[in-house]
Structure 1
Amino acid sequence: MSWENKTAFITAGVSGIGFGLARALSNAGMRLALSYRNEDHKEQAARWFADQGREQPLFLKLDVQDRDRFAEVADEVENHFGKLHVLINNAGVSVFGPTDEASYADYDWIMGVNFGGVVNGLVSFIPRIKAHGEGGHIVNVASMAAFLPGPQAGIYTASKFAVRGLTESLRYNLAPYNIGVSLMCPGLTRTNAWDSATRRPDEFKDSGFEPVEAAELEQFGTAFEAGMDPLEVGEKTLRGMTENRGLILTHPEFAQDFREIYETSLAALPDEEIPEGRLHIERLRREAMKAAEAGIKTGLKDLT
């Protein structure tokens, strides 16, 4: 697909990875709608577009957990551009603490933004992208935490695993409509994601995690200074979209981790004879997956 003059909506598109994505898509000639929550970040983003002599994006204030507002945003995007071709669900919070100490508020907030926000974007926009019939692309931004769990990141990891599973399945559903679907999993990136805990909404204030000392949090934030430039992440994402890749990995430093996952998974499989009936069912499943990715609609009848 040629991206020139196509339209894209990026959640949390005015800072961090979202703004890197916005710049990359703008450089490719796309017209943009960007959601935001912070007015200063919005003004900084608007200034970049003005300095580049580019069309100003449609800026839309949005809490991605607010389904009613998301529906309004979808209407505003459609009314402004006529149609949308690319949806990038990027908004997320990075909050860490021992999972065994987490409260309901911790689960509700982190899962509500990181997974619920993706769901709200999909439900709001997929019917509209399908309706215009021109095809398009959806990118759900996860994290390397979609593959790599950690002792301080249980809920965050759960949210990203959920986005991964949803995205990989959705790719099969939308292929018949010429709508590509990609999971983008960045590694360490030069953003301010480390201070998400300081922006916790009041309705989720009853955390089970111990408050983090400001100095400790700022020290953690120094790690992000070594991260990849968000624009590079955006450019690699655009390349993955153009190639219609289901999985877009932007950072090369995880080969050891993937090798260990592969070897551990194979070693966990029992070494025993498999009944032919079970083998037949799994062959049907693999064939159905290949057919679906090729754009052929499949159903339950194809699995038995």
Structure 2
Amino acid sequence: MDVRGKTAFITGGVSGIGLGIAQAFAEAGCELILSYRNKDYRAAAETWFAGRGFATPRFVKLDVTDRAEFAAAAAAAGKVHILVNNAGVSVFGPADEARHDDYDWIMGVNFGGVVNGLVSFLPHIKAHGEGGHIVNVASMAAFLPGPQAGLYTASKFAVRGLTESLRYNLAPHHIGVTLMCPGLTRTNAWDSALKRPAAFAESGFAPPDREALAQFGTAFDLGMEPIEVGRKTLAGVVANRGLVLTHPEFAEDFEAIYRDSLAALPDEAAPEGRLHIERLRRAANRAAAEGRIVELGDLT
């Protein structure tokens, strides 16, 4: 996709990875609409663009969990070609101690925010008929679970599954879909627990320890620069890649996933009837990727 002159709407686009993506898209000649919640981050972002001679983005104050706000933002945006669902929270704690408020907050932002973006913007992108692209920002947690990241991992696994399926659905409409999974990036994502909304106060996790969180945040200082993540994301959009992995340090993990997955398959023959159904599924996926609308009847 040639992004020059296209308009991109990026949630959480004034800081961290969202800002890095916005900066890379500005370099490529995109017009930008950036959602924000923190006015200081907005001001700093505006200064960055002005200082480099880029057009000032349009800024939209938006809570991605608010469906009415999201729908209004989409209606007011005009013609948008690229939607980047980036906004998220990084909160950690053992899943066995989580309460409903923990699930509702984390899933509501990290997965619900993506859903709200899709429901709000996809009708408009389809309607203008010029094609486009969706980028859903997940995380390496979409592949790699851990003992302190159960709910965060669940939210990112959900984004991954939705995004990989959505790519088949949108191919006939000439709308590309990319799942972007960054690794450690130099951001302030570590402090999400300090910004927990009062509406989700009933947590099963221990109260956030500012000192411990600050120590954890030192790991983020070693991360990739957000604009580098943004440039790799941009390259994935231009090439219409379904998956963008921005960090190279996970080969050992993917090799282990591959080995463990194959080892978990029973060493036995499958009956012809089941093999036939799986051949139909693979053929339907190939057809969908090539731009054909697949119906339920194609699977049997």
Aligned length: 300
Q: Which residue of 2 aligns with 1:44?
A: 44
- Distance in 2, matches of 1:7 and 1:212, equals 39
2:179 alignment partner, SS class = strand
- Distance in 2, matches of 1:229 and 1:135, equals 30
What are the residue-to-residue correspondences of 1:43-62 with 2, within 5 Å? 43-62=43-62
1:197 alignment partner, SS class = helix
Q: Are positions 1:16 and 2:12 aligned together?
A: no
Runs of 4+ residues over 3 Å off in structure 1: none
Q: Is the 8 A contact 2:188 2:217 kept in 1?
A: yes
- Distance in 1, matches of 2:242 and 2:4, equals 22
Give the CA deviation at 1:17.
Answer: 0.1
Q: Which residue of 1 aligns with 2:34?
A: 34
Q: Which residue of 2 aligns with 1:251?
A: 247
- Distance in 2, matches of 1:156 and 1:290, equals 31
- Distance in 1, matches of 2:49 and 2:241, equals 28
Q: Which residue of 1 aligns with 2:210?
A: 214
Q: Summarize deviations over 1:200-248 as a string: whole Å, max 9, x none.
A: 1110111110013211110000000000000000000000111111011
TM-score under structure 2 normalisation?
0.99
- Distance in 1, matches of 2:156 and 2:163, equals 10
Give the CA deviation at 1:52.
Answer: 1.3
What are the residue-to-residue correspondences of 1:143-222 with 2, within 5 Å? 143-222=139-218
Q: Aligned match of 1:96 in 88, 92, 95?
A: 92
1:224 alignment partner, SS class = helix
- Distance in 2, matches of 1:205 and 1:191, equals 25
TM-score under structure 1 normalisation?
0.98
What are the residue-to-residue correspondences of 1:116-135 with 2, within 5 Å? 116-135=112-131
Give the CA deviation at 1:2.
Answer: 1.3
Q: Which residue of 2 aligns with 1:73?
A: 73
Give the CA deviation at 1:301.
Answer: 1.1
What are the residue-to-residue correspondences of 1:226-237 with 2, within 5 Å? 226-237=222-233
Q: Are positions 1:282 and 2:257 aligned together?
A: no
The answer for unaligned runs of 5 or more in structure 2 is none
2:244 alignment partner, SS class = strand
- Distance in 2, matches of 1:47 and 1:59, equals 13
- Distance in 1, matches of 2:49 and 2:249, equals 32
Q: Is the 8 A contact 2:187 2:226 kept in 1?
A: yes
